A and B are shown apart, each in its own frame.
Chain A
């Protein structure tokens, strides 16, 4: 018997137990971005770029639209939207778009990449070096590299390392998980750094919340449960180095498992702090772990010695007040 297809998306969400809060007004940063564009490039002729504008200007403009002081012509469009906003929401959006975080841009750190990649910090071995490539070939735990690397995309915002990592890992399962069809990539199913934000995940943390603060390890676990896979979060402060290594090896050995790493990259000698990226391989002779860095504009993937990586996972995440660690992802 053929079933009516339109019901399937609805049912998928029923299974996920998404929020039934359908009636709430839905103006959020994503609403703004649909016209004002994610990457700061104007897509529609008369639409201004709002990223990085003065917060005061944005707040005043939204109030002027809301009150009707600005109206007529295309101002009617913003008036219709601003009328749905409370003063608090106007403050929040002005603050959001008035910060650098809302602008997607490549960080100017190429000099850092060069310095590190050329071995200035010899604790790390970058994949782009001869030794780095050789380790992948020698590794007995390298299958995830070939599964995940093809799907790796750089994070869309500086705070989207967890989102980009989840998208790469989920896409690496190909048809083993139900991937959403993104209208822009129709008819091919594919996880993007936008469609991970389904209704249930927006309840965990909103799009603009992630743009501002990123996700903690615990929140990564919650996001994954809403994406048709089974996550296990493993915190470094509850496990010793050997146990963490064993979790990584378990994940790399199982074709149905992937490992997402949450660490402090400053501790391993890179520029930056809290970071998330998939783990792609383990090299026994050097006891090092290959991390597929989703900030590809900063660093290529790096082999990080396990003792150093363990220290980087032990770092306390100020957002959660807990240590960092691993998210082990399995398909059902």
Chain B
């Protein structure tokens, strides 16, 4: 029988300090409250910064992992699903060595050279075949999703290429004023993004000051992933992973339909990340027998924490939520039904929440943290319209390529060129019948209107859905870092099929 006191003792005794905490225990203070004990979902392995420096090696390999009941061949960091959580402070430096342990890319077909559809300008990457279809699935690099860091050099530079057998040393200086919250890392090489993230290459990054979490508030990291459940080769076959209809297995921290336990009245701090490439994941806390207080969205703290009943997780979103056990019993955690443009996606049970009787409310919350000031009308130096579309293109899977401002990704196009230390208002206009969660690198944005209707709260995000045949208006302030990065749809098969565009912040 599960015994909280025993787990407390074990957790305290096994408190692993130093760089790497043991798998299954979230760390000294937190394991004390029993997370990851028998019958409870464990947090991912964790690597922490020491004396201002986080040192980690991330090594993706293609290897077998047990997902639900079957072994599947997946691309994963350090053989984990997900990769290790990185915990850092504002002002720290992340020194991350990325060693590409994936197999060599298969050679491209020689016929490609003669294809009337492909010109030299279409080819990207050493074996690549164009900007509208997946290719070179074992070429990789790193992106620090949502982080406000430099896009240049060895920092959050998604134009870098790390080939199989190669390695690269990233050095990411986190500014002192970096927002406090949840971020994540994942590969971002145009052409292999969907296949790599979709099969598991992702991990949390938690940025917070030393005293952020009060003792007594257990932190539960929940990394939701959606690997394909058909066969081992699914993630090497774009026709499989490019389809909304592909059978997906939802996992939490790599576990299929795990149980999350807490006492009635007990509070836990949930760091939720939808680390996937396609499926949306609306969640309803009330239906899980939980009360929920939202603390931060996409790594940006709210001005005031606020109670919520439900949240829509789009691919790439993070939500920091304090939950409290309300209704004793075993409740399903359901991916709620979602209308994906023309397609209705059914409810799906992805985990269970076991609220056990007999707890007491701690009333605890993480420490308050700063929210960026609202972007005012007066700050807006320019308004832009960014049109999302699709087109028939025989080079693309299912003949469907995606476009931004009428063109599929072109590495040489630079027409989104805001100036440093200005703010702009962009309206994404979606001319397709499907929703597109748009992500902008480096700087977060405020959602100001959806389908032309003002959003009073103006929430901060770095990824937000543009409704099917609708519009999303956002404002962003381009601070601290000039340089080149991208904006793209975080339905990553759409990104690989061309729905990405360069952004250049002019000094």
Contact = CB atoms under 8 A, between A and B. Distances in A.
Interface of A: 1-7, 9-11, 13-14, 18, 20, 22, 25-26, 34-35, 37, 43-44, 46-47, 72-77, 79-81, 84, 181, 183-187, 198-199
A183 B243 contact: yes
Contact of A73 (B115, B137, B471): B471
A322 B240 CA distance: 45
B170 to A, nearest CB: 28
A5 B233 CA distance: 11
6 contacts: A6-B133, A6-B134, A6-B397, A22-B117, A37-B342, A43-B433
A43 B433 CA distance: 9
B499 interface: no
A5 B239 contact: yes
B135 A4 contact: yes
A34 B430 CA distance: 13
A43 B112 CA distance: 39
Given A7-B109, A187-B230, A35 B433 contact: yes
B73 to A, nearest CB: 13
Nearest to B195: A6
Interface stretch (B197-205, B207-215, B276-284, B387-395): B387-395
A186 B134 CA distance: 18
B394 A13 contact: yes
Given A22-B393, A198-B399, A34 B432 contact: yes
B429 interface: yes
Interface residues of B, number: 57
A44 B433 contact: yes
Contacts of A4: 105-109, 127, 129, 135-137
A26 B394 contact: no
A contacts with B: majority SS: loop
Contacts of A80: 385, 387, 389, 429, 431
Contacts of A34: 342, 432-433
B contacts with A: majority SS: loop
B435 to A, nearest CB: 10
Contacts of B343: 184
B117 A184 contact: no
B75 to A, nearest CB: 15
Interface string B110-136: 011001111000000001010001111
Nearest to B105: A4
A187 B452 contact: no
A1 B452 CA distance: 53
A14 B115 contact: yes
A181 B134 CA distance: 17
Contacts of A76: 385, 427, 429, 452, 471
B245 A74 contact: no
Nearest to B244: A183
Given A5-B236, A198-B399, A10 B469 contact: no
Contacts of B137: 4
B39 interface: no
A35 B471 contact: no
A186 B133 contact: no
B287 interface: no
A7 B122 CA distance: 13
Nearest to B470: A74
Nearest to A4: B106
Nearest to A20: B116
A181 B244 CA distance: 13
A72 B473 CA distance: 11
A74 B451 contact: yes
A1 B106 contact: yes
Given A1-B106, A2-B106, A3-B106, A10 B430 contact: no
B111 A11 contact: yes
